[in-house]
Amino acid sequence: MIGLWLPVAAYMAALYYGALMPSVPGAVGSVSDTLLHAAGYAVLAVLAVRATAGGRWAGVTPMATAAAFAIATAHGVTVELLQLLVPSRFAEWRDLWNNTIGSGAGLAAVWAWSIMKRDVA
């Protein structure tokens, strides 16, 4: 159980750390902020569905996927709300939207892969 949830918690903590830094980290090459948000939350959603599915492809059910989406989305909301408390940072609806889209994209990929894995097994 801890082996499934520890990566989720560690990744959430890393996202909080980066999001609550007083100064905005520099740009990552030519990668857009939109893509960084979407990719970051796609990873969180994949880790969360791994945990909610019990680490099994057969466990990737609509309920496990919905739970993972709720976890990733709630984390994104709390990050944006906490940024309101950091004087040099600010919350943006666009960031929350990008986080949500990234979560959905990550989960869609896992869902499709789980169907292929179940068909093969």
What is the mean predicted confidence (pLDDT) over 82-108? 94
The pair of structure tokens assigned to 73 is 């989305």
Distance CA 11, CA 119 (A): 31
62-92 pLDDT, tens per residue? Answer: 999 999 999 999 999 999 999 999 988 888 9
Grade residue 26 by pLDDT with cuts at 50, 70 and 90. low
* Residue ranges covered by each domain of the chain: 2-21+28-120
Beta-carbon-side half-sphere exposure of residue 91 (alpha carbons within 13 Å) = 13
What pTM value is reported for the model? 0.91
Distance CA 64, CA 26 (A): 35
Distance CA 79, CA 50 (A): 22
42-64 pLDDT, tens per residue? Answer: 999 999 999 999 999 899 999 99
- Of 9, 20, 11, 1, give the one whose Cα is nearest residue 80: 20
Q: What is the pLDDT of residue 63?
A: 97
